[in-house]
Amino acid sequence: DAGVIQSPRHEVTEMGQEVTLRCKPISGHDYLFWYRQTMMRGLELLIYFNNNVPIDDSGMPEDRFSAKMPNASFSTLKIQPSEPRDSAVYFCASSSSTRGRTQYFGPGTRLLVL
Amino acid sequence: GQNIDQPTEMTATEGAIVQINCTYQTSGFNGLFWYQQHAGEAPTFLSYNVLDGLEEKGRFSSFLSRSKGYSYLLLKELQMKDSASYLCASSTGGGNKLTFGTGTQLKVEL
């Protein structure tokens, strides 16, 4: 079975540009999570969805960040405009409420904002 | 609120046993996860404890005491490939929302 798929794997952009990160969860999973990891703050939950509906976005740092899940197999995290402090690794994870609830992580997107 | 504490770094010798402790203060707690993360890679699932006691899985075991807000991960017969960061995470809510500790960087030496 394919794991969680994220794209792009690496992104370098300039301050002020829009950045879109993409995620395809494991087929059949009904929960999807977006995390951000930095050396200073560790792994932080940004937002999570259940059955494509956002449940908790309290971790989204500010209005520049938005996330959508238009269907069960696709989600995006958008940063507009991007700032250097957004530089981090962004992970997507998915889990199933009927199969143990363990979260499985994608490979991550390394974002560098210059 | 949520608060997870674990040591920042540990060093151990190949073939030895190491115990990584984690304490948590979490409202709505329903379980404790351990993940392993190698440098430059994604976290991978190791164990999940819901009830008090020890869960054994090969060389790795995890323990939970809900009354004490305490867990540990025990790694036996250490191998060089076990050098990694070990993340403790408390789970809350119906969706198993995870709050992660900052991770314990384990270095295994010859």
Residue of A nearest to B92 (CA): A101
Nearest-neighbour CA in chain B from A26: distance (Å): 15
Which residue in B38, B26, B16, B37 sits closest to B91, CA to CA? B26
Query: What is the per-residue pLDDT across B19-70, written as a single tens digit (0 to 9) for each?
Result: 999 999 988 898 999 999 999 999 999 999 999 999 999 999 999 999 999 9
pLDDT at B1 over 70: no
Q: Which two tokens stand for residue B27?
A: 């409202």
Q: Is B44 in the A-facing interface, judged by CB distances under 8 Å?
A: yes
Q: By the 8 A CB rule, do B101 and B5 touch? A: yes
User: B98–A105: do the CB atoms touch at under 8 Å?
Assistant: no
A45 touches chain B (CB under 8 A): yes
CB–CB contact A31 B96 (8 Å): yes
Identify the closest residue of chain B to A101 by CA–CA distance: B96
Residue A27, both tokens: 């087929």
pLDDT in tens, A81-108: 999 999 999 999 999 988 878 999 999 9
